[in-house]
Amino acid sequence: MLRANSVYSKFLLIINIFILVIVLQKYFISKKSNPSVRYNDDLERIELFINRPHIFIGGSMSSGTSLLRSILDMHPQVKCGPETKFIQLILDFILNLQKNKKISKFIRAAGISNQILDDSIALAIYNVMLRNIQTDVGRLCNKEPSNAEHIEYLLKIFPKSKFILIIRDGREVSYSLLKRSKKKVNLSNFYKRLRYWDEMLKVSYNQCLNKGEKYCLMVRYEKLVTQPKSEIKKMVDFLDIEWTDKMLNHEKYVGTEIKISKKEWSKKGMEKKINSDSLQNWKGNIPGYNHTIVMDTFKMLKVLNYTD
């Protein structure tokens, strides 16, 4: 999260983003063109990048976002690449900026409309996605868990893109997060993670519903690992790409076709074949678990039908 406390530091951030946009525009301009800046051509080029059908993946942490992107990375037309955290940073930044009335007025007075700001953010994101892949590909894709909190905005700035939201039982998510961080499981730290899941899912589930099934697909982790073929088929249809059997065997390609970053903590999980080992490990392992209280407190469990 970016925390710019004073108006002055926010102003500096804006300057930085404008410099970034200018550098990006320079990069995308053909070297042959003379004069080097061609207003209409350049605008057209920017529009081209923004209007490609990219793919975004999001979901709560430990919901299978890495598994999902590994499966998609196996498709010859799609490349996601490792998580960058860049989108999270830049979207947090722009949301903070919009809250600052003074700065917003200043920007508006300079003739920078919301549309121009959105295009600038899109272009910066596009650049990072492209550099993250470093190759020619049919569809660029990006996975960051936090994308799930920005489904509507991402689909607004990339109007031809599609979003896949992966959803997993919050109780298993919470248990898995505690296990991963090697924390002792007790009711209070279990609730803390479940609350985070509940709040995030409230936002992302509603945003996904609002965008409609043409632009946002919900995939259940539980279904993906128990009926991978039919779930992957659904994703393939949604994205309008061809089915390939390779998508069922991503584990053989981790580190080669599936590029991972050293910081990605889900590497171990990605190297495993699609499996249903982690569906209800939480059961019987949360001391003091009270079903009635959990169902009443964390409402998204009921909404998403995780009621057993």
Ligand X SMILES: *[C@@H]1O[C@H](CO)[C@@H](O)[C@H](O)[C@H]1NC(C)=O
Kindly state the smallest distance separating residue 242's Cβ from ligand X, in Å. 46
Kindly state the smallest distance separating residue 222's Cβ from ligand X, in Å. 25
- Total residues at the site for ligand X (CB under 6 A)? 8
Helix (H, G, I), strand (E, B) or coil at 257: coil
One of 183, 192, 229, 233 touching ligand X (CB under 6 A): 183
Asked if 188 interacts with ligand X (CB under 6 A), we say yes
Q: Which stretch binds ligand X (CB under 6 A): 80-88, 199-207, 224-232, 286-294?
A: 286-294
DSSP designation for 301: H
Q: Are strands 139-143 and 78-79 parallel, antiparallel or unpaired?
A: parallel
Q: Which stretch binds ligand X (CB under 6 A): 87-95, 102-110, 166-174, 287-295?
A: 287-295
Q: Which residue lies nearer to ligand X by CB, 184 or 262?
A: 184
Asked if 284 interacts with ligand X (CB under 6 A), we say no
Sign of CA dihedral 98, 203, 144, 136: negative
Asked if 184 interacts with ligand X (CB under 6 A), we say yes
DSSP 34-46: SSS--HHHHHHHH
Kindly state the smallest distance separating residue 297's Cβ from ligand X, in Å. 11
Kindly state the smallest distance separating residue 290's Cβ from ligand X, in Å. 4
One of 261, 290, 297, 307 touching ligand X (CB under 6 A): 290
Positions annotated as catalytic residues are 83
Cα within 13 Å of Cα(235), Cβ side: 29
Asked if 104 interacts with ligand X (CB under 6 A), we say no
Tokens, residue 258 = 């599936």
Q: Which stretch binds ligand X (CB under 6 A): 31-39, 179-187, 211-219, 229-237?
A: 179-187
Asked if 292 interacts with ligand X (CB under 6 A), we say yes
Asked if 297 interacts with ligand X (CB under 6 A), we say no
Kindly state the smallest distance separating residue 109's Cβ from ligand X, in Å. 50
Report how many helices (DSSP H) and strands (DSSP E) the chain contains, helices first: 14, 5
Contacts with ligand X, 237-276, as mask; x by CB under 6 A: ----------------------------------------
CA 89 to the chain's CA centroid? 12
Ramachandran class of 9: left when φ > 0, alpha when ψ lies in -120 to 50, beta otherwise? alpha
Alpha carbons 269 and 276: distance in angstroms, whole number: 12
Q: Which residue lies nearer to ligand X by CB, 7 or 295?
A: 295
Length of the chain: 308
Kindly state the smallest distance separating residue 62's Cβ from ligand X, in Å. 16
Q: Which residue lies nearer to ligand X by CB, 93 or 282?
A: 282
Percent helix, strand and coil across the chain, each to the nearest 5: 55, 10, 35
One of 100, 104, 189, 280 touching ligand X (CB under 6 A): 189
Residue 264 CB partners (closer than 8 Å, separation 6+): 66, 82, 83, 270
Residue 134 CB partners (closer than 8 Å, separation 6+): none
Residues interacting with ligand X, by CB under 6 A?
183-184, 186, 188-189, 290, 292-293
